[in-house]
């Protein structure tokens, strides 16, 4: 179905812009301890809860297209849902289906991968996030591919693990490595297959950069995985334990790179004739390493002699740029997004964030589409992020984003404005509670400026989030009691996203009595924000969009 122009409602559009403000990682916690949103100084959020239309929305699990409601939401699927106006089956669910149905192993990409190994007597390499967090990857997907590779006659496999500590427990690496080593022992015991961990390191130290923010991360990964350069150890367990002793308190995501040896030789350098699968299904932190393997005119860093390999991603991470060219599972086809409808209708739009979330309010918001729908009608502003640990700059670029937004509201050139404050998510991932409190308070301070600008221009402000994070920063047991680190005696910090709902607040200062919450709004998901934006702008939402959370009073 091709995009069509939108129909106007019978009521007037607001005099000023409709502003969709996404507070990344700021959810509604259910427990007071460990909730940096609740303990932060947030007078403007508090004021909105009292004086605006306020409800909550679901932002995890099936509400955003994930396999089950046990799965946390994330920024990518969250912005897909917000911008697309309905729920699509997302990466994890699509890969689960492809494995269960066998289509992954029947596809041309898998056949090319295994054929290359068999013809060249080459090694099959797997690189990816090594956990069951279901945000970027899942270890069960890796196991399924290893088993199929062995069954199809591949003799050697090497796994290059990126330690998580972000979407799972912050120091849980050995909880994955040790059982996996036993699993590999069982897989190898008949002598027909040789699979082993060959290299690794923390996800925020090597390989998984995004938005071209720090190519040195990718270079470190390239040297580790491909060239087998760096510090060598006898096993992944030895590497992790040694690095933890040397840097007390280090989180898994920040562990330095390591290479595994056997008989005093590196186990898994990547050579001509090998095959490589990057098994992350989520795209943002997979694009740069994919380019390093595929681009002939690559300029991110000096790769040295690039091995001639057959490379595939778990999914295609950028459909417009065709990155990578070979992939195992097709991503969802998303069309007729909020941004596309507005562009076809002739409505100017502005999207603003800093580098860490710029792609979310553009690429992911637009349904995994690079570029613009209409160059004349759309303006995208990226504020370069600082390259420092987020706990050291928890305010990030919120003030600079707010400068751009308030100026645009006063100019009143764009009827629809969207922005993302990354602070609650990026600082929440550090596990540093004080920093997270400051991050949330900083977002609230900037929110106050946006409220005033919207009030001046007679616009409408819609405040929400893509998922929770800073609202739940303590690891808990099954009774919701905080877990205690046996070594330090301190409460273990949670660095992953939460399963909590997120706020949705609508402030219409020019005519607050014109709107009321729709019946059942508290049971809706963040996919309803698209129809809500269109309703506030004075347009009829498409019939297949999830319903608006507000209606005319």
Closest by alpha carbon to 463, among 448, 477, 476, 474? 448
The alpha-helical segments, DSSP class H, found in 226-337 are: 236-246, 287-294
Residues in the chain: 553
User: Which 3-state string (H, E, C) describes 171-225?
Assistant: CCHHHHHHHHHHHHHHHHCCCCCEEEEEEEEECCCCCCCCCCCCHHHHHHHHHHH
Strands 18-23 and 416-421, by their bridges, are parallel
DSSP result, 27-63: ---S-STT-HHHHS--HHHHHHHHHSEEEEEB-SGGG
Q: Are 498 and 468 in contact (CB under 8 A)?
A: yes
Question: Does 75 participate in catalysis according to the annotation?
Answer: yes
Q: Distances in Å between the alpha carbon of 225 and those of 201, 253, 277, 403? A: 10, 17, 12, 42
Residue with tokens 């920024």: 75
The catalytic position among 39, 75, 496, 527 is 75
Q: Which residues contact 84 (CB under 8 A, 6 or more apart)?
A: 334, 336, 337, 338, 367, 527, 530
- Which residue is listed with tokens 């050697």? 156
**Cβ neighbour number for residue 186 with a 10 Å cutoff:** 8
Contact 227, 269 (CB under 8 A): yes
| Tokens coding 451 | 């409220």
- DSSP label of 514: G
Instruction: Find where tokens 């004075």 sit.
Output: 538
Residues with catalytic annotation? 75
């Amino acid at each position: 179905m091709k995009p069509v122009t939108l129909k106007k409602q019978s009521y007037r559009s607001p005099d000023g812009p409709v502003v969709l403000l996404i507070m990344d990682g700021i959810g509604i916690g259910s427990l007071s301890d460990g909730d940096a949103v609740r303990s932060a100084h947030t007078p403007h959020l508090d004021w909105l809860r009292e004086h605006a239309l306020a409800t909550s929305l679901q932002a995890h699990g099936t509400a955003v297209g994930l396999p089950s409601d046990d799965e946390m939401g994330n920024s990518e699927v969250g912005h897909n849902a917000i911008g697309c106006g309905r729920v699509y089956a997302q990466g994890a669910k699509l890969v689960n289906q492809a494995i269960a149905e066998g289509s992954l192993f029947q596809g041309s990409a898998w056949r090319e991968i295994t054929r290359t190994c068999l013809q060249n007597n080459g090694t099959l390499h797997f690189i990816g996030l090594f956990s069951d967090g279901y945000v970027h990857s899942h270890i069960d997907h890796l196991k399924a591919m290893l088993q199929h590779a062995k069954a199809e006659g591949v003799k050697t496999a090497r796994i290059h693990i990126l330690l998580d500590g972000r979407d799972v427990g912050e120091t849980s690496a050995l909880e994955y490595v040790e059982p996996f080593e036993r699993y590999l022992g069982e897989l190898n015991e008949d002598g027909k297959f040789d699979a082993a961990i060959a290299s690794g390191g923390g996800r925020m130290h090597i390989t998984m950069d995004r938005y071209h923010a720090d190519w040195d991360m990718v270079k470190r990964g390239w040297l580790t995985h491909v060239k087998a350069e760096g510090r060598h150890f006898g096993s992944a367990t030895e590497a992790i334990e040694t690095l933890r002793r040397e840097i007390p308190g280090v989180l898994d995501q920040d562990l330095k790179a390591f290479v595994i040896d056997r008989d005093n030789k590196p186990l898994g350098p990547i050579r001509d004739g090998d095959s490589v699968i990057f098994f992350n299904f989520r795209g943002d932190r997979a694009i740069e390493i994919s380019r390093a393997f595929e681009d002939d005119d690559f300029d991110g860093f000096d790769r040295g002699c690039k091995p001639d390999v057959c490379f595939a991603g778990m999914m295609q991470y950028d459909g417009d740029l065709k990155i990578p060219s070979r992939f195992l599972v097709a991503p969802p086809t998303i069309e007729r997004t909020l941004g596309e409808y507005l562009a076809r209708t002739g409505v100017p739009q502005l999207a603003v964030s800093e580098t860490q979330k710029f792609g979310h309010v553009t690429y992911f918001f637009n349904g995994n589409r690079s570029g613009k729908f209409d160059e004349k009608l759309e303006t995208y502003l990226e504020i370069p992020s600082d390259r420092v640990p987020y706990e050291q700059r928890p305010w990030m670029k919120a003030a600079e984003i707010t400068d751009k937004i308030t100026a645009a509201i006063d100019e009143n050139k764009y009827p629809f404005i969207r922005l993302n404050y990354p602070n609650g998510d990026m600082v929440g991932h550090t596990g540093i509670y004080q920093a997270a409190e400051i991050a949330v308070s900083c977002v609230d301070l900037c929110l106050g400026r946006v409220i005033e600008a919207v009030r001046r221009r007679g616009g409408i402000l819609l405040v929400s989030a893509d998922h929770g994070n800073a609202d739940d920063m303590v690891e808990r047991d099954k009774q919701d009691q905080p877990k205690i680190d046996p070594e330090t005696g301190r409460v273990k910090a949670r660095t992953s996203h939460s399963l909590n709902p997120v706020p949705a607040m609508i402030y219409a200062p020019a005519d607050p009595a014109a709107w009321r919450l729709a019946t059942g709004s508290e049971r809706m998901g963040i996919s309803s924000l698209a129809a809500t934006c269109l309703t506030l702008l004075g347009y009829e939402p498409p019939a297949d969009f999830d319903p608006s959370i507000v209606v005319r009073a």
